Chain A
Amino acid sequence: MKSLGNIRRDFAPWNKPDAKPYIQFKDVTKRFGDFTAVNNLSLSIYEREFFALLGASGCGKSTLLRMLAGFEEPTSGQILLDGQDLRGIPPYRRPVNMMFQSYALFPHMSVEQNIAFGLKQDGMPKADIDTRVAEMLKLVKLSQFAKRKPHQLSGGQRQRVALARAVAKRPKVLLLDEPLGALDKKLREETQFELMDLQQTLGLTFVVVTHDQEEAMTMADRIAILDKGEVMQVATPAEVYEAPGSRFVADFVGNINMFEGKVADRDGAGATITSANGVTIRTANAGDAAAGSEVAFAIRPEKIKVSSKKPEGGDNVMEGEIYDIAYLGDMTIFHVQIGNGQVVKASSLNATRATEDPLSWDDKAWISFRNDAGVVLTR
């Protein structure tokens, strides 16, 4: 069962100091010629975890997956699976299976032959293969398509065959390379939940590579955000979103407003920040940002309230003008230009049909947010 932010409350081995990582990247570097795809990276993934590697293209996430599968060897460093060093073990002897981005279904074989392929290779008795294939077909709801060839299936069905083929051998780890990349939006959303269910049912460790943050947020227990071959942050989706560790992560995941500035004063856990363009922000939590240091104050649009009248009290209130409005149906995004010229994004949920506070282009407006709504980023 998943709760808010996808954290299974009872599942957080990364917080237990004595938990043993299942997959471990230790100081792994991978170079292709003079291009460094992965740079001195260390990462731990736990058993039964749904782990996402998130990043823009060229960040090294696929290289990490291919090194786990055995298609690439690290230039230096170590990869351990269940305590065993994987160096020198060819892909066909590794207890991991991969679901390819292109699905890589064998076009000359039927759906059941595709699923049985790996089992036959292992020399499983014929009767057992048949049982397992039938079981897999049922799992991905494709029993009536067993005899079809891949080109006779829709994109979604092919994706399920690829999935069934990859899990048929009951690998220790299932690697998924952009598993939903080729599906349309609706199907993608449905399939996300199916993948999560499947992972729970089979009790496997999933490592998924994706460039789609929504996908990673929905499915994963933890997300590693990668940039230029390095890990920027490893955390649960909620932590990544609410407490990004750096400007890069804050900017990469979701929408955010950034105020670059200096810590003017610290009082206990909180601080006063003066932004470079003259805005003063009070925040209740400034972490370890020292007084006088250069920081960024970051706040998500949904944590900013927009109103036509000046709100009473409030921790941070700024006057501005509506610069742009985007109506998205479920919510409206306001772009408000505040006194110093900076445009702040604020989103408000359209909970009722008629807006109580009709705001229009060029209207004078007030934005406000609480002092615990944002984060202070030192990196």
Chain B
Amino acid sequence: MKHPLSAVTDRLVILIPYFWLLFFFLIPFFIVFKISLSTTAIAMPPYTPVLGLSDGVSGLITQIGEFSFDNYLWLTQDALYFNAYVSSVIIAGISTLLALIVGYPIAYGMARAPATIRPTLLMLVILPFWTSFLIRVYAWIGILKPEGLLNQLLLATGIIDQPLVILNTHTAIFIGIVYSYLPFMILPLYSALEKMDYSLIEAAQDLGCPPMTAFWKVTFPLSLPGVIAGCLLVFIPAVGEFVIPDLLGGSQTLMIGKTLWNEFFANRDWPVSSAVAVILLLLLVVPIMFFQQAQARAQEQGR
């Protein structure tokens, strides 16, 4: 018989992730959302109204009455925000695709490697995380700048006779994002490919598929969950990425993360930057939630 207490603890264990979501996602989100409805002010904190009960309940109601969607209207009136959103999505999209193209063969190679060396390979994929992200991105400046390592190597070997301009272009951002987020692409791909039964590929070959056809008809479709997970894990942080475009992309790159940072720290306009953040979240989370639901339904109907 099950102890009645264990039923309670079971429930509590299930509740932990919900508490996590509540405290670290929903509550902060509502704080940001609330700020986005406020107006900027020269004060501390730099917006009004600051909700409080100092004027009693009626005061609180008046304060709530001051909320407005003006900041969101403002976002539609200045093309800067729209362009920054679009450019972020495009840069993140291209980077995700590149990460997939680079990451898939690596994950495939790891999954097909002898079982004894797989843990070592996994370790190597995770190893860069042991160094600060910021330092690693800084290191890329040293590699990519006109007189940097890459150009010196190419010039010395005679492949080029003029230094390539890579730093402060979109190419540098792509390199930075692919480099930084590659492990997030490789790990879900690896786990999808590793648990795949190799006899499926043998069966496909046995039924007449040359290796490439077998890959596209069997291996790739079966690794799709890994592909989707990897792409989401790269795409979502890449859209809001700030450090990489700031350090490698130069001043003319427009990305929403940078715009947000400017609003917040340079303009000290918390309400507008909060509105930017809320829109960014909605733009990312809503389609992804719909997508995942569709996925789950497809899985229900039969993998």
User: For residue A91, which residues in chain B have a CB less than 8 angstroms away from its CB?
Assistant: 202, 205-206
| Inter-chain contact A98/B206, CB cutoff 8 Å | yes
Contact of A22 with B by CB under 8 A: no
* Chain B: interface residue total (CB-CB under 8 A): 19
Contact of B17 with A by CB under 8 A: no
| Inter-chain contact A149/B303, CB cutoff 8 Å | yes
Q: In the complex, how many angstroms separate the beta carbon of A311 from the nearest chain B beta carbon?
A: 56
CA A100 to CA B206, docked complex, whole Å: 10
CB contacts under 8 Å to B, within A85-125, are 90-93, 96-98, 100-102, 104-108, 110, 117-118, 121-122
| Choice from B207, B218, B222 contacting A97 with Cβ under 8 Å | B207
CA A104 to CA B199, docked complex, whole Å: 6
| Inter-chain contact B207/A169, CB cutoff 8 Å | yes
Contact of A152 with B by CB under 8 A: yes
Looking at A107, A149, A169, the one whose CB has the most chain B CB atoms below 10 A away is: A107
| Inter-chain contact A108/B222, CB cutoff 8 Å | yes
Q: What are the 10 tightest A-B residue pairs by CB atom distance, in nearest-first order?
A: A118-B207, A121-B208, A104-B203, A149-B302, A104-B199, A91-B205, A92-B205, A98-B206, A92-B208, A108-B221
User: Which chain B residue shows the least CB distance to A165?
Assistant: B207
| Inter-chain contact B203/A106, CB cutoff 8 Å | yes
CA A96 to CA B203, docked complex, whole Å: 12
Report whether over half of chain B's contact residues are helix, strand or loop; otherwise say mixed: helix
Q: In the complex, how many angstroms separate the beta carbon of A136 from the nearest chain B beta carbon?
A: 13
User: For residue B94, which residues in chain A have a CB less than 8 angstroms away from its CB?
Assistant: none
User: Which chain A residue shows the least CB distance to B218?
Assistant: A106
Contact of A69 with B by CB under 8 A: yes
User: Which chain A residue shows the least CB distance to B202?
Assistant: A71
User: For residue A92, which residues in chain B have a CB less than 8 angstroms away from its CB?
Assistant: 205-210
Contact of A2 with B by CB under 8 A: no
Q: In the complex, how many angstroms separate the beta carbon of A175 from the nearest chain B beta carbon?
A: 9
Contact of B213 with A by CB under 8 A: yes
CA A117 to CA B197, docked complex, whole Å: 18
CB contacts under 8 Å to A, within B178-221, are 197, 199-200, 202-210, 213, 217-218, 221
Contact with A along B288-303 (1 / 0, CB 8 A): 0000000000000011
CA A149 to CA B205, docked complex, whole Å: 21
Q: In the complex, how many angstroms separate the beta carbon of A162 from the nearest chain B beta carbon?
A: 9
User: For residue B209, which residues in chain A have a CB less than 8 angstroms away from its CB?
Assistant: 92, 121
| Inter-chain contact A107/B207, CB cutoff 8 Å | no
| Inter-chain contact A102/B199, CB cutoff 8 Å | yes
CA A102 to CA B200, docked complex, whole Å: 9
User: For residue A105, which residues in chain B have a CB less than 8 angstroms away from its CB?
Assistant: 203
User: For residue A100, which residues in chain B have a CB less than 8 angstroms away from its CB?
Assistant: 199, 202-203
CA A96 to CA B207, docked complex, whole Å: 9
Contact with B along A203-230 (1 / 0, CB 8 A): 0000000000000000000000000000
Looking at B199, B202, B203, the one whose CB has the most chain A CB atoms below 10 A away is: B203
Q: In the complex, how many angstroms separate the beta carbon of A124 from the nearest chain B beta carbon?
A: 11
User: Which chain A residue shows the least CB distance to B199?
Assistant: A104
